[in-house]
Amino acid sequence: MDIHAFYRTDPRRQSSEEVPFGDGWTDHRDSHSTYRLNWVADTGEIYAVREPHPGGILARYLDQLDVDQADVSALRVEILAVADRPAIEAALAGWPAVMAEHDSLRWARAQLAALSAPSTAT
Which residues, at least 6 apart from 87, have a Cβ–Cβ distance to it below 8 Å?
A: 115
CA distance 27 to 111: 15
- Output the pLDDT for position 53: 72
What pTM does this model have?
Answer: 0.81
> Which of 115, 103, 94, 109 minimizes the C-alpha distance to 47?
109
pLDDT in tens, 5-44: 999 999 999 999 999 999 999 999 988 889 999 999 999 9
- Output the pLDDT for position 120: 47
Q: Is 97 exposed, middle or buried (0-12, 13-18, 19+ CB in 10 A)?
A: exposed
